[in-house]
Homo-oligomer: A and B are copies of this chain.
Amino acid sequence: MFEDRNPRTELSTLGEFGLIDLISKDIEIKNISTEYGIGDDCAVLEANGKKILISTDLLIEGVHFDMTFTPLKHLGYKAVMVNLSDVAAMNAIPTQITVSVGVSNRFSVEAVQELFSGMKLACKKYNIDIVGGDTTSSQKGLVISITVFGFAENTDIVFRNGAKINDLVCVSGDLGAAYVGLLVLQREKSAFIVNPEMQPDLEGNEYAIERQLKPEARVDIINILKEINVKPSAMIDISDGLASELKHICKQSKTACTIYEDKIPIDQQIWDTARKFDMDPTLCALNGGEDYELLFTIQQSDFEKIKSIKEISIIGYITDESEGLNLITKNGVSAPIVAQGWDGLK
């Protein structure tokens, strides 16, 4: 008889993608300078024929990074990379960022400078201009918000929705390393809590830790693709894990895909370390995330151009939507790909 006039739905019931869907479903585009809004790695604005690519990321202490094992300089570097990667994922070169930082009085001027020194190092290496931002205090913890810009010709931009049946699925670099790096760092943190006298045992895990703390945006791959004259049909960067990103490309392209487990590039050291943690290395690659490698599809006719590029692996092909996303395991068994991804709202 009495209705609850103040219904309360927990954010965890929706998750990040559900919340984005809910918020964005009634957003209509009104300006002709808006070419593409929400739904890809970047938004696209239009100015006299030139396209401006825009992406933004919000990083919050305790959610996206753990200050007990993240040096401020590395954090600054990574915060920039996460954003540059989004512009690369549109097949474009990032050129500018704005940086907003909220800091509690726990941080000193020197700490803020250290954070910015990492950002500036990233900008120097990738030829990026810091053009604006905002600095403010926070009641608790560190908040970093970065927005990135890149310019592109209309014909060069690659969205997530262009994959066609029989296109080859490609990935740059290797996968799963950032997640394994996180496992190593979390293990050392736990050991340190038990015994603060302990020295961290990071030997043999340098690569994993570097991939977690200091990832690189694959702008180099965009340049290589331009050089060999290959334009991907669809592209995304791997922030949430291979499985989640495959789902995005297939959903938006109205296709599915078949991926071969033995083709997924995993570094040998990462493989061994994952095993020590009793983790399946393939699952680390599928669901670990934070690799910031590029996942893209190309026409079969581009195979000859791609096959000799050391930094690119062909891991499968695009299929009809009705076939579903499948992984052909090393035993030759076909299993559906399930995206667990990483959801900060759960």
Contacts and interface: CB of A to CB of B under 8 A. Distances in A.
Nearest to A34: B129
A127 B31 contact: yes
B47 A48 contact: yes
Interface string A120-143: 100000011111111111111101
Contacts of A141: 139-140
Given A8-B108, A50-B47, A23 B140 contact: no
Given A33-B95, A120-B26, A131-B38, A58 B136 contact: yes
Give the one of A12, A101, A137 with max B CB within 10 A.
A137
A11 interface: yes
Q: Which range holds the interface residue count of chain A?
A: 35 or more
A146 to B, nearest CB: 9
Contact of A34 (B57, B64, B131): B131
Interface string A135-165: 1111111010101010100000000000000
A223 interface: no
A62 interface: yes
Contact of A132 (B42, B95, B143): B42
> Which one of A37, A49, A131 has the highest number of Cβ atoms from chain B below 10 Å of its Cβ?
A131
Given A14-B109, A58-B102, A45 B149 contact: yes
Nearest to A94: B31
A7 interface: yes
A135 B345 contact: yes
Interface in A1-46: 6-14, 16, 19-20, 22-24, 26-27, 29-31, 33-34, 36-38, 42-43, 45
